[in-house]
């Protein structure tokens, strides 16, 4: 079978899984639904590997195929096919997405076991994977937008999975609204592309773009800026990032899959896919890089003071995606995608470990109440440590190689881009600090109440179900989390998934060691031919120097965290009181939520109120009631003719006859 046929199968299996579980949710026993869900993604991964084998058998320059099933919309001037575009980049994303998704499905098989909405969960999760694969494999902008929108919906459905929690539903709506803002940007970009280039198809667009556009022409810059709006909304970059921390209301596997490994990387993929357009609009690429840098730093500073475990990891995700955005915006495409892959491994792993710890805490998420789980949960703490080391770019872990490759490329570009190097390393320093802040706070120290209970009795602490954000009491019926809490130690599927990811987090970087092997860049580089932003190849020496600096900074950061949280436990409190203003500013997330509320939400509500009170009442209602009144009046007049008097009918008859006769007399004279 050809590689594209395998690619179609990749799309088919998650869709079938989702439909099968959705239709059979009453009939299927719980375990079978989980098996179907996991197996469908596993099959998709297998088909992805088969497609990889197919592509490997071809010449590197010819490894791009477009394949379409049928015409989607074929009217005057418009020819959109239901088609996929399989090349190295999309296959890379397919493998990352399906690989990590399979493991997360396996994890959810154990984690969500006591939840009443188990079937719904797996159906939504499969649908999400299908949408993400559609987005990645799409061969034209229309299908990309379709996949984009589906992914947004799946995110909404999964964030508000526990739909009877008001915080969850509100978070889902917030995510969806901000995503729609991004969708607008993407759709407008697609319109502009069609207007200028006459096609939506990737092949045609990327071929014609260098001929039609000159560098930094305003149209191509506008297109790229609009694409950036879409990318930033999906990837939670400034200023459209406020939905990501709130999205942690969803179950932990959701946070792990969607908001760490896959959906939030869609923006990065988009920029990489449309690299031809960005190469023609370097200004837009630079804007994108600077916004990525800003997000990187802002998110890292907020993560330093976050007390909610999942939200801290979410800000870490935002920061790391900032790195990826910087990478693909300055021309380091392979490096950016490599960091995407390694980040998927260690971030998913961190979320899984966090899920295990939160389960042990009976749904409590505040790290101020957690301590000493290192002794209570060995497996979880070891895997959490693996993920944390990779995130902090500890030497020889996967994050070490991927993050520093981006910064080395920036350094090689020189000039203005050195600022990325400096601030990028500063961000890496902060990353190491906040990562190990979490690890030391949660895993080290005297075991807290729940940890002690786990050590002594071996049972997970049981508390009355409550909402971790507001503390209000809940029950465990459908729409709320289930009654039991599953930790990794007690669930084999969770352990298998976490172990595989821990292996990837630790050793996944070894496939792209500078000067030794270049698996990723060899695979991806043929995609990024044609116009590029810069023809830069960092020398291997500079690569290793950059790696050394990065390793040193990582160790420095870990030492700083150790000093703050273990050696001198009072230090954080002293710093907090001394820099009270700064701490509050960071704790309130740089007041972004408040700013958006003031600038966007309140005016929108005011417009809505105005529309209701004035426009709707007077103009619309007036028009409708006016028409109604007019019709009623007119019909009243007409009705008066039917008064029942035979003589008046006779009068009308004779009057009509007289009128007709008059007309004929006049017309014949």
- Chain residues binding another protein by CB under 8 A are 639, 641-648, 650-651, 654-655, 657-658, 661-662, 665, 668-669
Structure-token pair, residue 23? 């239709």
Contact 392, 435 (CB under 8 A): yes
Q: In this complex, which beta carbon is closest to another protein, that of residue 591 or of residue 649?
A: 649
Nearer to another protein, 56 or 654 (CB): 654
Sign of the Cα pseudo-torsion (277, 278, 280, 283, in order): positive
Q: Looking at beta carbons only, is 577 or 669 nearer to another protein?
A: 669
Give the nearest distance from C-beta 666 to another protein in angstroms: 10
* CB proximity list for 384: less than 8 A, separation 6 or greater: 349, 350, 353, 354, 357, 439, 442, 443
Give start and end residues of each alpha helix (H) in 138-265: 141-159, 166-197, 202-212, 218-235, 243-246, 252-256
- Identify whether the C-beta of residue 500 lies closer than 8 Å to the C-beta of residue 103: yes
Shortest distance, position 628 Cβ to another protein, whole Å: 20
In the complex, minimum distance from the CB of residue 638 to another protein, in angstroms, rounded to a whole number: 9
Assign residue 515 a region (left: φ > 0; alpha: ψ between -120 and 50; beta: otherwise).
left
What minimum distance in Å lies between the beta carbon of 633 and another protein? 16
Taking the least distance from each CB to another protein, the nearer of 76 and 641 is 641
Beta carbon nearer to another protein, 415 or 644: 644
Token pair, residue 362, equals 């009976």
- For residue 232, give both structure tokens: 């930033």
Task: Quote the least distance from Cβ 626 to another protein, whole Å.
Answer: 25
Residue 27 or 640: the one with the smaller Cβ distance to another protein is 640
Three-class SS of residue 138? strand
Residues 91, 52 contacting (CB under 8 angstroms): yes
Phi, psi (deg, nearest 5) at residue 71: -75, 130
Structure tokens at 498: 């976490």
- C-beta closer to another protein: residue 70 or 645: 645
Q: Which is nearer to another protein, 473 or 667 (CB)?
A: 667
Q: What CA–CA distances, in Å, run from 23 to 16, 311, 351, 666?
A: 10, 34, 30, 76
Taking the C-alpha atoms of residue 260 and residue 244, their distance in angstroms, rounded to an integer, is: 10
In the complex, the smallest distance separating the C-beta of residue 634 from another protein, rounded to whole angstroms, is 14
Phi, psi of 290 (to 5 degrees): -70, -35
Dist. CA 159–CA 413, nearest whole Å: 40
Residue 652 CB, nearest distance to another protein (Å)?
A: 10
- Is 269 exposed, middle or buried, given 0-12, 13-18 or 19+ CB atoms closer than 10 A? buried
Instruction: Give me Rg for the CA atoms of the chain.
Output: 30
Distance of CA 299 to the CA centre of its chain: 16
463 vs 661 by CB, closer to another protein = 661
* 426 vs 297: CA distance, rounded Å: 8
Shortest approach of another protein to residue 658 CB, angstroms?
A: 5
Q: Which is nearer to another protein, 216 or 648 (CB)?
A: 648
Is residue 384 within 8 A of residue 305, CB to CB? The reply is: no
Residue closer to another protein (CB basis): 575 or 658? 658
Nearer to another protein, 575 or 651 (CB): 651
Least distance CB 627 / another protein (angstroms): 22
**Smallest distance, another protein to C-beta of residue 479, A:** 57
- Residue number, 529 or 635, with CB nearest to another protein: 635
- Least Cβ distance, residue 644 to another protein (angstroms): 3
CA distance 536 to 280: 17
Pairwise CA distance, residues 303 & 299, whole Å? 6
Name the strand (E) or helix (H) holding 564: none
Taking the CA of residue 607 as centre, how many other CA atoms within 13 Å lie in the half-sphere pointing to its CB?
6
Shortest spacing between CB 26 and another protein, in angstroms: 57
What is the smallest separation between the CB atom of 668 and another protein, expressed in angstroms?
A: 7
- DSSP line for 370-416: ---HHHH-HHHHHHHHHHHHHHTT-TTSHHHHHHHHHHHHHHHH-GG
């Amino acid at each position: 079978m050809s590689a594209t046929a395998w690619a179609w199968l990749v799309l088919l299996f998650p869709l079938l899984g989702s439909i099968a579980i959705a239709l059979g949710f009453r009939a299927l026993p719980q375990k079978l639904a989980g098996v179907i869900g996991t197996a469908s993604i596993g099959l998709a991964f297998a088909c992805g590997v088969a497609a990889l084998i197919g592509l490997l058998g071809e010449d590197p320059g010819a490894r791009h195929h477009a394949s379409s099933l049928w015409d989607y919309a074929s009217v005057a001037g418009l020819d959109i096919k239901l088609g996929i575009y399989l090349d190295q980049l999309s296959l890379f994303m397919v493998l990352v997405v399906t690989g990590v998704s399979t493991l997360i499905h396996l994890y959810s098989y154990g984690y969500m076991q006591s939840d009443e909405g188990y079937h719904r969960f797996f159906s939504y999760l499969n649908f999400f994977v299908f949408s993400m694969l559609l987005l990645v494999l799409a061969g034209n902008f229309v299908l990309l937008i379709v996949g984009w929108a589906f992914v947004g919906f799946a995110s909404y459905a999964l964030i508000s999975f526990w739909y009877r929690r008001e915080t969850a539903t509100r978070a889902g709506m917030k995510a969806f609204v901000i995503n729609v803002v991004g969708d607008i940007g993407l759709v407008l970009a697609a319109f502009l592309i069609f207007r200028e280039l006459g096609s939506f198809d990737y092949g045609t667009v990327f071929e014609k773009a260098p001929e039609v556009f000159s560098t930094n022409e305003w149209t191509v810059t506008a297109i790229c800026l609009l694409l950036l709006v879409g990318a930033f909304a999906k990837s939670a970059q400034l200023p459209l990032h406020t939905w990501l921390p709130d999205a942690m209301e969803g179950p932990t596997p959701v946070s792990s899959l969607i908001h760490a490994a896959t959906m939030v990387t869609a923006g990065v993929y988009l920029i990489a896919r449309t690299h031809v357009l960005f190469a023609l609009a370097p200004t837009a690429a630079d804007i994108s890089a600077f916004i990525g840098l800003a997000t990187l730093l802002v998110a890292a500073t907020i993560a330093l003071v976050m007390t909610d475990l999942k939200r801290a990891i979410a800000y870490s995700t935002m920061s790391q995606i900032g790195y990826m955005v910087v990478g693909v915006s300055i021309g380091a495409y392979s490096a950016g995608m490599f960091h995407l892959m390694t980040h998927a491994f260690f971030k998913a792993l961190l979320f899984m470990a966090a899920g295990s710890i939160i389960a042990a805490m009976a749904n409590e998420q505040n790290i101020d109440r957690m301590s000493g789980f290192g002794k209570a949960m060995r497996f979880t703490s070891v895997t959490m440590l693996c993920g944390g080391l990779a995130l902090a770019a500890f030497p020889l872990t996967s994050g070490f190689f991927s993050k520093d490759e981006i910064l080395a490329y920036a350094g090689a570009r020189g000039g203005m881009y050195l600022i990325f190097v400096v601030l990028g390393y500063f961000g890496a320093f902060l990353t190491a600090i906040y990562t190990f802040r979490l690890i030391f706070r949660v895993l080290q120290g005297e075991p807290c109440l729940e940890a002690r209970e786990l050590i002594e009795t071996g049972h997970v602490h049981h508390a009355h179900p409550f909402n971790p954000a507001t503390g209000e009491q809940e029950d465990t019926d459908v729409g709320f989390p289930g009654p039991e809490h599953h930790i990794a130690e007690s669930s084999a599927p969770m352990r298998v998934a976490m172990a595989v990811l821990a292996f990837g987090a630790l050793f996944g970087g070894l496939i792209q060691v500078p000067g030794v092997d270049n698996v990723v860049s060899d695979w991806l580089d043929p995609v990024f031919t044609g116009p590029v932003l810069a023809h830069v190849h960092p020398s291997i020496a500079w690569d290793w120097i950059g790696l050394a600096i990065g390793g040193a900074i990582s160790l420095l950061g870990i030492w700083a965290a150790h000093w703050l949280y273990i050696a001198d436990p009072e230090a954080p409190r002293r710093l907090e009181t001394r820099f009270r203003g700064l701490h509050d500013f960071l704790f309130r997330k740089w007041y972004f939520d408040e700013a958006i509320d003031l600038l966007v939400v309140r005016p929108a509500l005011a417009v809505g109120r105005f529309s209701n009170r004035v426009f709707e009442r007077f103009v619309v209602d007036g028009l409708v009631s006016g028409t109604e009144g007019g019709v009623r009046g007119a019909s009243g007049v007409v009705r008066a003719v039917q008064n029942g008097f035979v003589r008046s009918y006779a009068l009308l008859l004779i009057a009509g006859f007289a009128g007709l006769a008059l007309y004929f007399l006049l017309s014949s004279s």
